[in-house]
Structure 1
Amino acid sequence: MNQNYRAPMKLLNDQIRVLLIGAGGTGSHLNRELIQLDTCLRQLNHKGLHVTIADGGVVTNANLSRQHFLPTQTGMNKAEAQVFIANNLYGRNFTAIPRQINPEDIGYKDFDILITAVDKPSVRFGIHQHRPTTGNVLWLDTGNDHTSGNIVLGHWCRTPQIPSICDLYDYSLLSDGDSEIKSCSSAESIGRQTLGVNATSARLAAQLLWNLVRNGEIDVHGAHFDTTTLESFPIHCSTKTWGMYGWSKTAA
């Protein structure tokens, strides 16, 4: 039986403080989605979002094939490039952190939602290791391979009501491996991750946030998707579903 998760009242009544870690493949598309989400919420008399984007990478010509940057932004820091788009083209007041952020730098009182759009498993595991004991910070993770991926929304704490990506999957032994290989051309970039896989991940992630804030509750807190078969499979807020991943609230 599904168990609806109810949003903290702060998300419904106050401005939502978002930290987006990663402004590349999925993160660059997420920035546009968050801008749209902010616009819609404000038009419904919500206080909207304030987004901080962290990334230490630099925009290259190869990035332009599947990442959402302007051609004139090659050579710019990725976080600063995305914030430039948000602030100068859409009138937002987003903030850039132009460096790779360390898990210990994330303050659980500074943000309401943490979004990770990163390639390295070690980053996810590091964030999981530094989670606070309690709290209402939500962690929305987006991940993908060549043609498929998943999104998972969970609590970033040691006593979660809904499990995070690292509660459902063991990242402790995963190697960063291929994630550290950089693409030197558009052909290599598309060969590693097909066109649309990042945008699909970002769209589903933003839709999940919209469902939560707009409706005040959700009974689905993630999804698996495949861009080749065009299939999507929900992850339900359900003890039965969580048990299939080997997770339970009592064991958290």
Structure 2
Amino acid sequence: MNDSLIALGHAGLMVRLWDDDIVTTANLGRQRFAECETGLYKSVALINRANRWSGTNWKAETVRFQKDVTGRPPEHYEACIYLSCVDTVQARFAIAEILTLMCDRSSYFNTPKYWMDYGNSQYSGQVILSTIGNIRQPNSKKYDVVAKLPFVTEEFGDLLRQSEETDDTPSCSLAEALERQDLYINSSLAQMGSSLLWSLFRNGLTAYKGFFLNLKDFRSQPIPVA
């Protein structure tokens, strides 16, 4: 996507990846890490790979995306678009709280604007696009524009709490990991979510704010902007 945007005259993307997790043998097949990356931070392994491949200068953070000791998000958390894929409901609510705080205090060019959250179970998942606060929209006679898309924690908060799983024990093997998440659910969500993000850059608008996906029976259901 970065290379394609540059080819179209866009400045390209600056990416910062937050993850304090370590690559284990359980990650080698399903998450496409190499054996030589075992023991590295996932964020470092992925960012180094991307930088070597395309000559970018993207950044890896080996800590969690969380508030500092004062209860505020540090300054260098600020960006225009946030993508999250976390394991627990509590983590989603924590991210929502941080983004709300950042929106309230920000007055710079990189004011937080969008949050795209990815979530999945063994065979199904969803991607939900939200705005961080209200985003002023152009006047349009052709489209009914929407200034605010609710957070996933606002629109589906009750469902998230009901579906919360308390077992967050790491998988010890690839076979055990596949019992929790099937082989292609992560990559399928990533590709479809990237397509939604691409349409925002390429077309400057979207009629959909996400989708639900079920790989077991190959069904996808778009979520229209209402």
Q: TM-score per shorter chain, which class? A: 0.7 to 0.9
Inter-CA distance 205–194: structure 2 relative to 1 (3 Å threshold): same
Distance 1:106 1:234 in 2: 35
* Aligned counterpart for 1:167 among listed residues 151, 154, 166: 154
Structure 2 stretches lacking a partner, 5+ long: 105-110, 136-146
Task: Identify the residue that residue 22 of structure 2 maps to in structure 1.
Answer: 58
Distance 2:86 2:61 in 1: 15
Task: Identify the residue that residue 87 of structure 1 maps to in structure 2.
Answer: 51
State how 1:168-247 maps to structure 2 within 5 Å.
168-170=155-157, 173=161, 175=164, 177-178=166-167, 180-238=168-226
Task: Identify the residue that residue 78 of structure 2 maps to in structure 1.
Answer: 110
**Secondary structure at 2:192 match in 1:** helix
**Secondary structure at 1:217 match in 2:** coil
1:157 Cα deviation after fit = 3.2
2:65–2:95 CA contact under 8 A, matched in 1: no
2:79–2:112 CA contact under 8 A, matched in 1: no
**Secondary structure at 2:157 match in 1:** coil
Distance 1:78 1:182 in 2: 14
State the aligned residue count: 201
**Secondary structure at 1:218 match in 2:** coil
* Aligned counterpart for 2:127 among listed residues 151, 154, 160: 151
1:65–1:190 CA contact under 8 A, matched in 2: no
One-letter amino acid of the counterpart of residue 154, structure 2: D
Task: Identify the residue that residue 96 of structure 1 maps to in structure 2.
Answer: 60
2:133–2:148 CA contact under 8 A, matched in 1: no
Task: Identify the residue that residue 140 of structure 2 maps to in structure 1.
Answer: none
Distance 1:161 1:122 in 2: 23
Distance 2:212 2:65 in 1: 27
One-letter amino acid of the counterpart of residue 49, structure 1: L
Task: Identify the residue that residue 39 of structure 2 maps to in structure 1.
Answer: 75
**Superposition CA RMSD, Å:** 2.1
One-letter amino acid of the counterpart of residue 195, structure 2: Q
Structure with greater contact order relative to length (CA < 8 Å, sep ≥ 6):
1
Distance 1:139 1:66 in 2: 25
1:58–1:76 CA contact under 8 A, matched in 2: yes
One-letter amino acid of the counterpart of residue 222, structure 1: G
Distance 2:93 2:27 in 1: 26
Q: Which runs of 4+ in 1 moved over 6 A?
A: none
Distance 1:199 1:191 in 2: 16
Inter-CA distance 191–226: structure 2 relative to 1 (3 Å threshold): same
Distance 1:127 1:77 in 2: 21
TM-score w.r.t. length of structure 2: 0.82
Distance 1:74 1:109 in 2: 27
Identity within the alignment, %: 30
Distance 1:80 1:51 in 2: 12
Distance 1:196 1:185 in 2: 17
**Secondary structure at 2:36 match in 1:** helix
Structure 1 stretches lacking a partner, 5+ long: 1-36, 239-252
Task: Identify the residue that residue 120 of structure 1 maps to in structure 2.
Answer: 88
Distance 1:140 1:58 in 2: 24
